[in-house]
A and B are shown apart, each in its own frame.
Chain A
Amino acid sequence: MSAAMDTESTYSGYSHYSGHSKKAHRQGRDRHKSPRSKDGSRSEKSVTIQTPPAEPLLGNDASRAEEGQDDNWGETTTAITGTSEHSISQEDIARISKDLEDSVGLDCKRYLGLTVAAVLGLLVFLTPIAFILLPQILWRDDLEPCGTVCEGLFISVAFKLLILLIGTWALFFRQPKADLPRVFVFRALLLVLIFLFVFSYWLFYGVRILDSKDTNYQGIVQYAVSLVDALLFIHYLAIVLLELRQLQPMFTVKVVRSTDGEARYYSLGHLSIQRAALVVLENYYRDFTVYNPALLTASKSRAAKHMAGLKVYNVDGPGNNASGQSRAMIAAAARRRDSSHNELYYEEADHERRVKKRRARLVVAVEEAFTHIKRLQAEEQQKAPGEMMDPREAAQAIFPSMARALQKYLRTTRQQQYHSMESILQHLSFCITNNMTPKAFLERYLNPGPTLQYDRDRWFSKQWTLVSEEAVTSGLQDGIVFVLKCLDFSLVVNVKKIPFIKLSEEFIDPKSHKFVLRLQSETSV
């Protein structure tokens, strides 16, 4: 018994040491972890030797499995932290590789598509003009004279081509907002259709008109006019297929973030899965609060503590029954009377109280700071030239009085890495310029806002991968689930069809609104 106690005290000593060394390199984020592990080791009454909770070093999960089994893990930890000053974290590696990818640009596919479409468009646009001009150039003398009718047709061709040009510019010449994995099915279909159409017209023209040198010029011009009309109809088809069809909402989509369960609902029309993913992502940046990895450490440590301290010893001889071992561990962990729910409750209540207290201090400090600043009216500007400041100077003057309260609040709500001093000063001068109240200034800091509000470096989510069991160009159906993964978290998207609504009417004649007075009087006689 005493030997076990000795071992316990030795191990708790190690856990404290490792916690301390890790602290230096984690920037104080896990300050609560080491005291908690010490308490855990003291409350354990079992005789088994505990391995302290295996915390991931440098975010690398692969080393975790090895640590748990190694009895000398204390020494190993020290050795690794010795080199960690010079090594970079996995996050930095991922970020560097992403930047490389962005700069090289795998846009060949996109540019190829764009050039094909542009060449085809130019060809299509010049075709009617070619149809009209070629007979004039090649066999001008043989052509029948064609006066007013042809001139009228020329005017109509000119205006229709102008309308087609404006329409194509409005519909297709837009900055591409995204790079999607597969080609747009409808766009490809339309390009193929246009190509076949123009090709068949040229074929007919080449065989029947150029070869035979047709002299009926009016007929040729009318042929060109029919081509332009058909092109306008194809443009109409393009509008309907590419723009109008997905406007009417048919599906409701539920988007859940995997790390903290934040969920939103959106309405979509008939879209392909990749385009639906695009819509979801555009709304993600606006609607979801920013992903904050600092908020997730608490639940991980709780979960780790639940299974910690249990080791399976096989006393019946060799034979590695892995599933039996894990089941035994799970059963033992469930039976153990741990008070983690109690801990969670009190911790959350405590945290809430602390946040509210800090928030009250912050609000008071900011209000007091804002009272020092007063906007000068035009006449007063001449009277007090010495003290005039521009918004930036005014912000710098009052910032120190609220800096401490703001910093403490941000630390408590784990938002401190999202706001640098420069950004706070900038926001303060912006609020002063626009006559905002202290509450308007604080709105940005009291609650975490959407991802768009913050600096691009803190987004944690720029490169997305679409994971789907169906082909990404197939349309949305009821019950489809796809996942949008980025490096740190993923968005799980669940598609549901909007139910078919059966609405019936009931007509009530306004004259039928009649009422009676229901009395019950009693008269004595």
Chain B
Amino acid sequence: SNLISFSFQQRIEIHKLRQGDNLILGFSIGGGIDQDPTQNPFSEDKTDKGIYVTRVTEGGPAEVAGLQIGDKIMQVNGWDMTMVTHDQARKRLTKRNEEVVRLLVTRQSLQKAVQQSMMS
């Protein structure tokens, strides 16, 4: 086939939104080293126990910042997220004294072959 899949990293800066007493980011995470990696629909490697973005609320801060569903979060504010438990990941994202989180995410995408783009 003419499709090549590769992943590229992206840095995303999300400004938290204040809702009452909470600061929300507007997305949901799944995964972690204490979870079952085979049930993760977004990972290519079913043994990957990393943290994945499972939902992005419409119009929320995450969507505005460019986070997409299926992204794997590698770092949050410099903290590694590839070998953390689910709860640890949640804690790192929801620190009360932080208003901005800078994420390093990995996204898979499929692109048509370079040939086709050259032909067009």
Which residues of chain A have a CB within 8 Å of any CB of chain B?
A: 518-525
Are B36 and A524 within 8 A (Cβ)?
no
Residue on A with the closest CB to B90?
A: A523
Q: A525-B25, A525-B28 are in contact. Are A519 and B34 (CB under 8 A)?
A: yes
A524 partner, pick from B27, B34, B40, B86, beta carbons under 8 A:
B27
Which residues of chain B have a CB within 8 Å of any CB of chain A?
A: 24-25, 27-30, 34-36, 39-40, 54-55, 57, 86, 90, 93-94
Q: A525-B90, A525-B93, A525-B94 are in contact. Are A520 and B28 (CB under 8 A)?
A: no
Q: Which residues of chain B come closer than 8 Å to A524, judged between CB atoms?
A: 24, 27-29, 55, 57
Residue on B with the closest CB to A524?
A: B28
Q: Which residues of chain A come closer than 8 Å to B35, judged between CB atoms?
A: 518-521
Taken together as a complex, chains A and B put the C-alpha atoms of A522 and B31 apart, in Å, by: 8
Are A522 and B36 within 8 A (Cβ)?
no
Which of A518, A521, A525 has its CB near the most chain B CB atoms (within 10 A)? A525
Taken together as a complex, chains A and B put the C-alpha atoms of A123 and B40 apart, in Å, by: 93
Taken together as a complex, chains A and B put the C-alpha atoms of A74 and B24 apart, in Å, by: 110
Known: A520-B30, A522-B28. 11 other contacts (CB 8 A): A518-B36, A520-B35, A520-B39, A522-B29, A523-B28, A524-B27, A524-B55, A524-B57, A525-B25, A525-B29, A525-B90
Taken together as a complex, chains A and B put the C-alpha atoms of A364 and B29 apart, in Å, by: 72
Shortest Cβ gap from B26 to chain A (Å): 8
A525 partner, pick from B27, B36, B39, B40, beta carbons under 8 A:
B27
Taken together as a complex, chains A and B put the C-alpha atoms of A524 and B57 apart, in Å, by: 9
Q: Which residues of chain B come closer than 8 Å to A522, judged between CB atoms?
A: 28-30, 54-55
Residue on A with the closest CB to B38?
A: A518
Shortest Cβ gap from B57 to chain A (Å): 8
Interchain Cβ contacts under 8 Å between A and B, 6 examples: A518-B35, A521-B30, A522-B29, A523-B30, A524-B57, A525-B94
Q: Which residues of chain B come closer than 8 Å to A521, judged between CB atoms?
A: 30, 35, 86
Are B90 and A520 within 8 A (Cβ)?
no
Residue on A with the closest CB to B30?
A: A522
Shortest Cβ gap from B70 to chain A (Å): 13
Q: Which residues of chain A come closer than 8 Å to B39, judged between CB atoms?
A: 518, 520
Q: Which residues of chain A come closer than 8 Å to B24, judged between CB atoms?
A: 524-525
Residue on B with the closest CB to A520?
A: B39
Q: Which residues of chain A come closer than 8 Å to B90, judged between CB atoms?
A: 523, 525
Taken together as a complex, chains A and B put the C-alpha atoms of A521 and B52 apart, in Å, by: 11
Q: Which residues of chain B come closer than 8 Å to A525, judged between CB atoms?
A: 24-25, 27-29, 90, 93-94
Shortest Cβ gap from B3 to chain A (Å): 29
Residue on A with the closest CB to B89?
A: A523
Taken together as a complex, chains A and B put the C-alpha atoms of A524 and B54 apart, in Å, by: 9
Taken together as a complex, chains A and B put the C-alpha atoms of A525 and B86 apart, in Å, by: 12
Q: Which residues of chain A come closer than 8 Å to B30, judged between CB atoms?
A: 520-523
Residue on B with the closest CB to A516?
A: B36
Taken together as a complex, chains A and B put the C-alpha atoms of A524 and B34 apart, in Å, by: 17
Taken together as a complex, chains A and B put the C-alpha atoms of A524 and B25 apart, in Å, by: 8
Residue on A with the closest CB to B36?
A: A518
Residue on B with the closest CB to A519?
A: B35
Taken together as a complex, chains A and B put the C-alpha atoms of A525 and B73 apart, in Å, by: 13
Shortest Cβ gap from B7 to chain A (Å): 22
Taken together as a complex, chains A and B put the C-alpha atoms of A519 and B35 apart, in Å, by: 5
Taken together as a complex, chains A and B put the C-alpha atoms of A523 and B30 apart, in Å, by: 7
Q: Which residues of chain B come closer than 8 Å to A523, judged between CB atoms?
A: 28-30, 86, 90
Q: Which residues of chain A come closer than 8 Å to B29, judged between CB atoms?
A: 522-525
Taken together as a complex, chains A and B put the C-alpha atoms of A183 and B53 apart, in Å, by: 90
Taken together as a complex, chains A and B put the C-alpha atoms of A522 and B35 apart, in Å, by: 10
Q: Which residues of chain B come closer than 8 Å to A518, judged between CB atoms?
A: 35-36, 39
Taken together as a complex, chains A and B put the C-alpha atoms of A522 and B56 apart, in Å, by: 12
Q: A525-B24, A525-B27, A525-B28 are in contact. Are A520 and B93 (CB under 8 A)?
A: no
Q: Which residues of chain A come closer than 8 Å to B27, judged between CB atoms?
A: 524-525
Taken together as a complex, chains A and B put the C-alpha atoms of A520 and B31 apart, in Å, by: 7
